[in-house]
Amino acid sequence: MSTSGALRHVAVLATCLGVMMAADTSASQDRPPKRYTETITTKDGEKVSFEMVLIPGGSPVRDPQAGFLMGSPAGRPGRQDDEGPQHEVRLAPFYLCTTETTLELFLAYYQETMSAKKDFIEAEQAKKDAEQSRDDVDAITGPTPVYGDLTMGYGKKHPAMGMTWHNAMTFCRWLSRKSGRGPRSAGAKYRLPTEAEWEYACRAGATNVFGFGDAPNRLADFAWYEDNSDGETNEVARKKPNAWGLYDMSGNVCEWVYDFYSPTAYKEAAGKTPAVNPKGPKTGKVHVARGGDYSSSIEKLRCAARAFEEQWWRSGDPQIPRSEWWLPQMDFIGFRVARSVNTGTQKSAKLGFTSNKAVIRSPARDTAWTPFGGTPQENGEYVFDTGILRGKLQQAGKTLGLSSVVHLPSGVRLDGRFAILSYYRVFTTNKRYGAAAWDWPSTSKLLSDGAVQITWPEGRDRPFEMVAIYRWRGSSTLDLETIVKPRKDLSKFEVFLASYFHETFPSPYVYVVARPSWPCFYSTGRLSAGLEARAEGKPGFLMAGKSFGDWQMFPRDQEVLRVVHDGRWQKEPNPVKWAIMPRMGMPIGLRRGAGSGPAVVLMAPLDDCFAIATPYQGEGHYSLYLSLFGCDVKAGQTARAHTRFVVTKDVSDREILDLYQKYMKDIADCPIPVLIDSPSAYTSGRGCRYGSD
């Protein structure tokens, strides 16, 4: 094994230390943050943000294990019959938006999902569509056009208003997927708060009449209501928040909650105390709304006051039948979003699959997952669902790599015409072993840590056994180890690992020693000296533009070009003439799509990967290739090569390099490459990584 890792540049050491610190601190971040800001990008490219605050479980005033008393005590002024009896409720921690949902955010939802369907039959179908569990935003059938003006003349910082409960629920589904917190993601999705959660948050851990105390003369500091609103809603967060940082919990607009309304709900709950995370009656005709609005009297602003959809709320709708989506002209009803707390422990527990295995953690790496399910299905496929990625390994009885891969937060399909991390061409000097390794007979098995091992035994024309181990290291990170065990000496052995991505990833990039300042042309046998001379002198990611050539190869160094040009690439089927590109700085290749969607990254240690290849931007294969090994393997030896596949979003070039440095740390015996900021600091390994069986 090469000892080049000992020659570490100061810049690399600093980067590595930074990664180590980040890894160490991440372990202490299992506790949910006290607040966070969510930002989404609208269809028009605008950024819209809102803030979520953590609502603790239990009650600071009472025993935290005892929860809180929901409802209003008998004899309290303004109390209604449906507010009692008081009953004990225990709640898990959750997040609640600090403000009511604004028109700015709701308009983004409306513009992206609005359906032109207006008749009743189509509206009913739209409602059914909204209940489907597909993960892409486009799959959400949104509201029909509103009758009248959706804004009702208000500004974008005013609360959204006039939507039905069903419309508010559909908004939550859209927001979950828009923000990457959809139902199949590892994170908890956005939703409406339950009635119990709403009241608990309004009280802010106290037992007072209002969210700030018992004195009605202080209402004007905290709420818009009949005495100070001038008969209209106002912008959110213009009044003081309660003790937990929540604005407008009383007044401005009444807020939908999750529960069905029943006047006897509290009586039924009182017989089952303590109620743990209650969600109200299982069935009903109308839903609860809380908090009062800009026209409400003082009594309706109490924390315990309950309201529900009344028949007259639909009186502004002239359509027959009435809309499932809108309450036209009803500017007093809105909502705010909640989200369950999803700790690291909860996330791991949700990474269960077709087997009954629990998540197994590696002693050396506490981030290991086990998303491959149980035993192979009858068709030889292994399925996986990490919470971020879902798909399968093997299909139609062949070892084709990862296929049907979906990035759940965005709904984007990742694989293309073939699969990801597929074993394609296998070479030795001037020899090709068949057309593609994925056609060879193979066996597979599930390992004890949830990894899948594929074995290609020796064949009549193949004097070696080859093994692949696919192992998840995180919800969006997969490691692949390739092992070869030859019976005869193998000269300049190469595995050409192919990944075919969806057309939504048209732009390939490779990390190079120095980026050229203008296009290069075909080169044979050696690196283009002119290209190197015209380089800008700084390492970075170079996009494979069409002017560089149809098929582009980025070698590790001059030496490996003898391997590339020994005749192997002239073998049928599909011989390739490579355009030789600048030498890669580190074996990192990626493909990006348009906008802020996910990016796919492939990386390998320098000793294990001697070239990266790709077609030009937009070419129909949408592929990336890693040339592994590139060395002589002696009979009886076991040679190994490693690859990592990462799916990430909104990541910078610097962050990709940090991911690579972390990968090098994960492979403890791998030499760390020196190149970070200076091409002159570049060193690479020479030869295969050997190890015992």
The pLDDT value recorded for residue 231 is 96
Strands in 338-340's sheet, in edge-to-edge order, are 35-41, 47-55, 94-97, 338-340, 190-191
Q: Is residue 418 part of a domain?
A: yes
Q: Is residue 81 part of a domain?
A: yes
Question: Distance between CA 265 and CA 281 in Å, rounded?
Answer: 7
Output 535 or 173, whichever has higher pLDDT.
Answer: 173
Q: Given pLDDT bands bounded at 50, 70 and 90, which one contains residue 354?
A: very low
The pLDDT value recorded for residue 61 is 43
Q: Given pLDDT bands bounded at 50, 70 and 90, which one contains residue 594?
A: confident
What string of H, E and C letters represents the secondary structure of 94-107? EEEECCCCEHHHHH
Looking at the fold, whether 333 and 447 belong to one and the same domain comes out as no
Q: Given pLDDT bands bounded at 50, 70 and 90, which one contains residue 670?
A: very low
Give per-residue pLDDT as tens, 265-316: 999 888 777 888 899 999 999 999 999 999 999 999 999 999 999 999 999 8
**Position 393, amino acid:** L
Q: Is residue 349 part of a domain?
A: no
Output 375 or 43, whichever has higher pLDDT.
Answer: 43
Q: Given pLDDT bands bounded at 50, 70 and 90, which one contains residue 388?
A: confident
Per the structure, the complete domain to which residue 679 belongs is given by 4-22+357-690
The pLDDT value recorded for residue 13 is 32
Looking at the fold, whether 147 and 273 belong to one and the same domain comes out as yes
Q: Is residue 586 part of a domain?
A: yes
Looking at the fold, whether 220 and 165 belong to one and the same domain comes out as yes
Indicate the residue among 342, 368, 400 that finishes a domain: 342
Q: Is residue 627 part of a domain?
A: yes
The pLDDT value recorded for residue 140 is 64
Does the global pTM surpass 0.85?
no
Q: Is the pLDDT of residue 220 over 50?
A: yes
Output 630 or 686, whichever has higher pLDDT.
Answer: 630
Q: Is the pLDDT of residue 207 over 80?
A: yes
Looking at the fold, whether 311 and 193 belong to one and the same domain comes out as yes
Question: Distance between CA 67 and CA 28 in Å, rounded?
Answer: 27
Q: Average the pLDDT over 89-113 and give the result.
A: 94
Give per-residue pLDDT as tens, 653-668: 888 998 999 899 887 6
Looking at the fold, whether 272 and 404 belong to one and the same domain comes out as no
Looking at the fold, whether 337 and 377 belong to one and the same domain comes out as no
Q: Is the pLDDT of residue 15 over 60?
A: no
Q: Is the pLDDT of residue 118 over 60?
A: no
Q: Is the pLDDT of residue 110 over 90?
A: yes
Number of domains in the chain: 2
Looking at the fold, whether 16 and 46 belong to one and the same domain comes out as no
Burial class (CB in 10 A: 0-12, 13-18, 19+), 136: middle
Mean pLDDT for all residues in the chain: 80
- Which residue reads 């015996």 in tokens? 669
3-state secondary structure of 244: coil
What string of H, E and C letters represents the secondary structure of 427-474? EECCEECCCCHHHCCCEEEECCCCCEEEEECCECCECEEEEEEEEEEE
Strand partners, 91: none
The pLDDT value recorded for residue 153 is 93
Looking at the fold, whether 456 and 333 belong to one and the same domain comes out as no
The pLDDT value recorded for residue 519 is 45
Question: Distance between CA 480 and CA 518 in Å, rounded?
Answer: 35
Tell me the DSSP string of 558-591. STTHHHHTTTGGGSSSS---PEE-PPEEEEEEEE
The pLDDT value recorded for residue 520 is 43
Q: Is residue 352 part of a domain?
A: no
Q: Is residue 347 part of a domain?
A: no
Question: Distance between CA 536 and CA 260 in Å, rounded?
Answer: 65
The pLDDT value recorded for residue 387 is 77
Tell me the DSSP string of 349-394. HT---SS-PPP---SS-TT----B-SSPPTTS-EEEE-SSEEEEEE
The pLDDT value recorded for residue 279 is 93
Q: At what angle do helices 165-178 and 103-113 cross, to 10 degrees?
A: 80
> Residue 445 — φ and ψ, nearest 5°?
-155, 155
Q: Given pLDDT bands bounded at 50, 70 and 90, which one contains residue 368?
A: very low
Strands in 306-308's sheet, in edge-to-edge order, are 306-308, 287-290, 254-260, 333-334
Give per-residue pLDDT as tens, 82-96: 999 999 998 889 999
The pLDDT value recorded for residue 342 is 65
Q: How far is CA 271 from CA 198, 267, 323, in A?
A: 21, 7, 38
Query: 490-500 and 275-276: which strand pairing?
Result: unpaired
The pLDDT value recorded for residue 317 is 84
Q: Is residue 348 part of a domain?
A: no
CATH of the domain at 218: 3.90.1580.10
Q: What does DSSP assign to residue 608?
A: T
Indicate the residue among 285, 311, 342 that finishes a domain: 342
What is the chain's alpha carbon radius of gyration, rounded to the nearest angstrom?
A: 30
Q: Is the pLDDT of residue 251 over 90?
A: yes
Q: How far is CA 115 from CA 5, 143, 325, 334, in A?
A: 58, 6, 11, 21
Looking at the fold, whether 503 and 540 belong to one and the same domain comes out as yes
Output 322 or 64, whichever has higher pLDDT.
Answer: 322
Q: Is the pLDDT of residue 595 over 80?
A: no
Contacts of residue 382, defined as CB under 8 A and 6 or more positions apart, other chains included, come to 372, 373, 376, 392, 393, 394, 444, 446, 452
Indicate the residue among 342, 369, 393 that finishes a domain: 342
Residue 244 · residue 204 · CB < 8 Å = yes
Looking at the fold, whether 16 and 59 belong to one and the same domain comes out as no
Question: Distance between CA 569 and CA 492 in Å, rounded?
Answer: 13
Q: How far is CA 411 from CA 140, 406, 414, in A?
A: 11, 6, 9
CATH of the domain at 488: 2.70.98
Q: Is the pLDDT of residue 10 over 70?
A: no
> Residue 444 — φ and ψ, nearest 5°?
-145, 155
Residue 585 · residue 573 · CB < 8 Å = no
Looking at the fold, whether 270 and 329 belong to one and the same domain comes out as yes
Question: Distance between CA 192 and CA 339 in Å, rounded?
Answer: 8
Looking at the fold, whether 512 and 573 belong to one and the same domain comes out as yes
Q: How far apart are the first and last CA of the chain?
A: 16
Give per-residue pLDDT as tens, 137-149: 445 667 888 888 8
Residue 542 · residue 508 · CB < 8 Å = no
